[in-house]
Structure 1
Amino acid sequence: MALPSFNCENICKDIYDSWGKPNHLIQLLVSPSQLECRKIRETYLRIYGVDPVHLLLQRNKDSSQGNEAGSLFSEKTLVGLSMLMLSPHERDAVVAREAFEQGDSVNYKPLLEIFLCRKSSHVLLIQEAYYARFKKQLEQDIISIDPSHPYQRILMALCASHKALQTDVSQYIANFDARRLYKTGDENRGSVDEAVVLEILSKRSIPQLRLTFSSYKHIYGHSYVHSLKKEKSGEFEDALRVAVKCMSNPTKYYAEIMYECIKGTRIDKDAVIRVILSRAEMDMDEIQRAFKKKYGLELKNAISESEAPGDYRELLIALATKTATPSASSLRYSEPSSLLD
């Protein structure tokens, strides 16, 4: 269902009348842009005196407790709809918190995505939103992870990288760092020197690191990820390979993440909606093209085949088929590249 024009008050009234119609409500909230969704949230609060995000989360609570108020919607649908009306940094703060609440383990992939695919100014907003919502410091929660885990050490280095707030990139530094990485990896034919890698990750901005990996490929004829595959792969090398893939070619990385989730080979069951929401109005069209090129499937068809019929499947398909909004360029966090091809 396309919205012919954006009349915020009329949409809010339609939403108010649609709480018992899951599919209609999904279309009402999926069709607007992210900025329009936040305007709908503000207008709904002004008209009806209740935050629709809180209303959705309350219905989710009612549903989990078996109350009739939330029984028309699945839990995932209610949470997904509530995420649509959050600002990008609020949504990332929620995603980060959920990453820590995975039982006995931490879901490191969403945390890596935040620190690797967001500008430093956005990471600062995420940290502020994280504290405002959860009364905790995001960096302290990362510090509290078992320091023996390689993902924790990589995340701590990336936290330091964003604090540097570097703006310029240097080809000289990129070539210098690329040669250091080669000497501690390919040249030694052994495991990478973790201390050198973490030093580089902590002292360079994400754009500078991308240039380093581009220079590595230019100088040595193969990507750094390819180099890591050739080494005696340990836990740190495996984690580093994921981080470099995410940083260097987010389009390909996200396509692979969603495919693994759809096919049930990943524990991260919420990867599809997380990726669609975080990359909407940025490069979701490119991710879908990469998905089809690599796996021979349209994303919406893969979702339709893997998800059980219901409102959550309808939400995922509606989000996957939503056309990117050209005016949303201000929401773009990072530019995809193709350093790994």
Structure 2
Amino acid sequence: MSYPGYPPSGYPAFPGYPPTGQESVFPPAGQYSYPAVPGGFPPMGGSEYNAAPPTGEFPGIAGYPTAPGGYPPAPSGYAGVPQPGGMPTYPGGAGFGVPPTSSGFGYPQPQAQTYGGGGSVQIPAGYPGGQTPSTPLQPAAVTQSMQGTIRPALNFDAGRDAEILRKAMKGFGTDEQAIIDVVANRSSDQRQQIKAAFKTMYGKDLIKDLKSELSGNMEELILALFMPRTYYDAWSLRHAMKGAGTQENVLIEILCTRTNHEIREIVRCYKNEFGRDIEHDVRADTSGHFERLLVSMCQGNRDENQTVDYQKAQQDAQRLYQAGEGKLGTDESCFNMILASRSFPQLKATVEAYSQIANRDLLSSIGREFSGNVERGLKTILQCALNRPAFFADRLYHAMKGAGTDDSTLVRIIVTRSEMDLVQIKQLFTQMYQKTLATMISSDTSGDYRRLLLAITGQ
């Protein structure tokens, strides 16, 4: 039995298929049915699917093993399912097909999706930062699960790492490369263990020792790496509002992009570490519609139901149109209410519905109806709903574009996304700007600072 549309067009033949000596077991090339294989199918890989085929049949496929919820597993589990004869694995996740149903096998099919979900799609004008790439945006990764460039080190020994750092700072001069080799290859949790081991072994504070040995951007980057992520976000927000002036872009970047859980943890940490109420500080340092948007963000109460209500998306799109393009003046509270409370998948559906109603992109409409910080805040929310890694790729590009470098933004994004989605950010950066993130970092930074940034990004 073959499956319409699978494999996707562009894969007419698969090298090494059928496997040599097993032509009688596997169908001829060009026929994509899935036979029962002695020893179980798939022939290698995942747990319960490695046993002999159960007596039950997957709908329409004799001998194909069934699993809870059907086979393949739920959408997040598509990636990594072995394919016979070297057949490529197709990524799972948003934008790559639908879960199995009784009407068909449901193997992931690349589909046209907005902002890098799958297939080839153009980013409309105004996203991100008014940039439209000259080439279509392709799927960001082989798998659509988010992936960091830093992962926990195997065979980790906090005491051994503490000793390496002690030797690197002891005596005349500093062995910066030894420091880079440790901190760029340990997870945030492992760095906290190193910090604790250092104090236990030497009775000294590792952070104070590092500060005495380093300076400038290298010092800022190292210290950021040794801060737990929640503390680093809270610390960044405090410094953005401390003293004269306010760094509004920092407030937007953090408060408009984090999940409910992350925001609640930041609010708690901000109170515990600095003895201050973050909402009070936001109100004191901002005003008007921008203040109200950030106060909404501080609540950490966005709907996080991943199920999309398309009727509500149509209604919200109509309300946004009537609150902006469809009337003289702008009803700012309507934009605030919808963009601050709807889930990101729901907002993505609203963006698509809006373009049909208004014959204009919602990001462009916000640019026409708003200005300044509130415009940037609303656009950030939508950009994260559409493609969060693309938003951070854009932020990194503009931190290095032109004369001078916004090192604080560069450090903050590289550090906070290094264990989350920096792999996707790097890939989207290349697609959006036709140059690699490593190339821009190399041209905009120097010395140990450059080497550590490149090490974190996996270069």
1:76 paired residue number: 217
Q: Distance in 1 between matches of 2:275 and 2:394?
A: 34
Q: Distance in 2 between matches of 1:210 and 1:106?
A: 30
Q: Distance in 1 between matches of 2:385 and 2:329?
A: 21
- List, as ranges, runs of 4+ consecutive aligned residues in structure 1 with deviation greater than 6 Å: none
Partner amino acid for 1:136?
A: R
Residue 262 (1) aligns with residue 389 (2): no
Per-residue Cα deviation, 1:260-301 (whole angstroms, up to 9, x for no partner): 111246884411111111111221111111111122211112
Give the secondary-structure state (helix, strand or coil) at the position aligned to 1:136. Answer: coil
Is there any run of 5+ residues in structure 2 with no aligned partner, and where? Answer: 1-150
- Residues 266 and 151 of structure 1: is their aligned pair in 2 closer, same or farther, counting only changes over 3 Å? farther
Taking structure 1 as the reference length, the TM-score comes to 0.78
RCO higher in structure (CA 8 A, sep ≥6): 1
Residue 108 (1) aligns with residue 248 (2): yes
Which residues in structure 2 correspond to 1:116-195 (within 5 Å)?
116-148=256-288, 150-160=289-299, 162-163=300-301, 167=305, 171=309, 172-188=311-327, 191-195=329-333
Q: Distance in 1 between matches of 2:201 and 2:348?
A: 47
- Residues 159 and 222 of structure 1: is their aligned pair in 2 closer, same or farther, counting only changes over 3 Å? same
Given that 1:217 and 1:224 are in contact with CA atoms closer than 8 Å, whether structure 2 keeps it comes out as: yes
1:89 paired residue number: 230
Per-residue Cα deviation, 1:317-338 (whole angstroms, up to 9, x for no partner): 222226xxxxxxxxxxxxxxxx
Could you tell which deviates more after superposition, 236-245 or 81-90?
Answer: 236-245
Residue 54 of structure 1: how far off its partner (Å): 4.3
Residue 275 (1) aligns with residue 413 (2): yes
Q: Distance in 1 between matches of 2:382 and 2:294?
A: 12
- Residues 271 and 154 of structure 1: is their aligned pair in 2 closer, same or farther, counting only changes over 3 Å? same
Tell me which of 168, 183, 186 is aligned to 1:18.
168
Which residues in structure 2 correspond to 1:158-237 (within 5 Å)?
158-160=297-299, 162-163=300-301, 167=305, 171=309, 172-188=311-327, 191-206=329-344, 208-217=346-355, 222-229=360-367, 231=368, 233-235=370-372, 236-237=374-375
- Residues 283 and 39 of structure 1: is their aligned pair in 2 closer, same or farther, counting only changes over 3 Å? same
Given that 1:157 and 1:201 are in contact with CA atoms closer than 8 Å, whether structure 2 keeps it comes out as: no
Given that 1:131 and 1:137 are in contact with CA atoms closer than 8 Å, whether structure 2 keeps it comes out as: yes
Q: Distance in 1 between matches of 2:439 and 2:215?
A: 21
1:328 paired residue number: none
Q: Distance in 2 between matches of 1:153 and 1:267?
A: 31
Give the secondary-structure state (helix, strand or coil) at the position aligned to 1:317. Answer: helix
Could you tell which deviates more after superposition, 201-210 or 135-144?
Answer: 201-210
Residue 315 (1) aligns with residue 448 (2): no
Q: Distance in 2 between matches of 1:119 and 1:289?
A: 23
Give the secondary-structure state (helix, strand or coil) at the position aligned to 1:96. Answer: helix
Q: Distance in 2 between matches of 1:118 and 1:222?
A: 28
Per-residue Cα deviation, 1:236-275 (whole angstroms, up to 9, x for no partner): 4454334432443222221121111112468844111111
- Residues 246 and 4 of structure 1: is their aligned pair in 2 closer, same or farther, counting only changes over 3 Å? closer
Per-residue Cα deviation, 1:197-245 (whole angstroms, up to 9, x for no partner): 123244445554445335434665653113224x255334454334432
Partner amino acid for 1:75?
A: G
Greater Rg over alpha carbons, structure: 2
Per-residue Cα deviation, 1:60-115 (whole angstroms, up to 9, x for no partner): xxxxxxxxx43xx22322222122122221111112112224x6422222222322
Partner amino acid for 2:284?
A: S
Which structure has the highest helix share of the two?
Answer: 1
- Residues 164 and 305 of structure 1: is their aligned pair in 2 closer, same or farther, counting only changes over 3 Å? closer
Tell me which of 196, 210, 234 is aligned to 1:42.
196
Could you tell which deviates more after superposition, 5-14 or 208-217?
Answer: 208-217
Q: State percent identity of aligned pairs.
A: 25
Per-residue Cα deviation, 1:145-169 (whole angstroms, up to 9, x for no partner): 1314x43232122224x24666465
Given that 1:93 and 1:130 are in contact with CA atoms closer than 8 Å, whether structure 2 keeps it comes out as: yes
CA-atom RMSD in angstroms: 2.8
Q: Distance in 2 between matches of 1:251 and 1:217?
A: 22
Partner amino acid for 1:234?
A: S
- Residues 178 and 55 of structure 1: is their aligned pair in 2 closer, same or farther, counting only changes over 3 Å? farther
Q: Distance in 1 between matches of 2:277 and 2:207?
A: 23
Taking structure 2 as the reference length, the TM-score comes to 0.59
Per-residue Cα deviation, 1:122-142 (whole angstroms, up to 9, x for no partner): 211111211222121111111
State how many pairs are aligned.
Answer: 302
